[in-house]
Amino acid sequence: MNLNALFQQIQFTEKQAREKRSFIQQAKCDINRSYEKMNQIKEELSAAKINLETKVQHLSVKQFNVEILKKQEDSLEKQKAELINQRTSLLKIMADAKKKITEEEDNFTREITEFNNEYGLTSNRDLHIKKKVKTEINDLENEAALLKN
């Protein structure tokens, strides 16, 4: 091999080495950019994960509150049904009591009327009062006559 060919070979090898170094440098830059993008994406993913976890917690709280409200609603519906039944029962008892009171009042009035009629208390009352007044007047007249004598 002559010197010229050797020199050309060295230049060609150096050129290839430069190209490879440039290619390696470019690959390193690309790798660094990729790492930066990965880190940025990891941060975004972490933020999204935190945001999602927060939303999941809020959703869980809301679902829990909905379940509690449903249970309260069911309980209130049961209480409402019980109160309606109790009200119906009490209204029936009250109606029965009113009916019984009315019957007792009617019976009492009928018995009093029968008693008064039986003993003549209603028809003879005026006569009885008149007799009493006449008797008193006679007694007073007799007393007055005695006092004059």
Read off the DSSP letter of residue 92: H
Asked if 121 and 115 touch (Cβ cutoff 8 Å), the reply is yes
**Other C-beta atoms lying within 10 Å of the C-beta of residue 116:** 14
pLDDT band at 149 (very low <50, low <70, confident <90, very high): confident
pLDDT band at 132 (very low <50, low <70, confident <90, very high): confident
Contacts of 123 (CB under 8 A, 6+ apart): 117
pLDDT of 87 reads 97
- In this structure, of 48-57, 68-77, 104-113, the range with the lowest mean pLDDT score is 104-113
Tokens of 134: 């006449």
Higher pLDDT, 146 or 32: 32
Domain ranges within the chain, ordered by starting residue: 7-119
Alpha-carbon distance of 84 to 88, in angstroms, equals 6
pLDDT of 122 reads 64
pLDDT of 31 reads 97
Distance of CA 43 to the CA centre of its chain: 45
In order, the DSSP letters of 66-79 are HHHHHHHHHHHHHH
- pLDDT tens per residue across span 70-87: 999 999 999 999 999 999
Phi-psi region of 2 (alpha: psi -120 to 50; beta: other; left: phi over 0): beta
Asked if 87 and 93 touch (Cβ cutoff 8 Å), the reply is no
Would the CA dihedral through 11, 13, 17, 20 be positive or negative?
positive
Read off the DSSP letter of residue 124: S
In 3D space, the residue among 124, 146, 143 whose CA is nearest the CA of residue 135 turns out to be 143
Query: Which pTM was predicted?
Result: 0.49
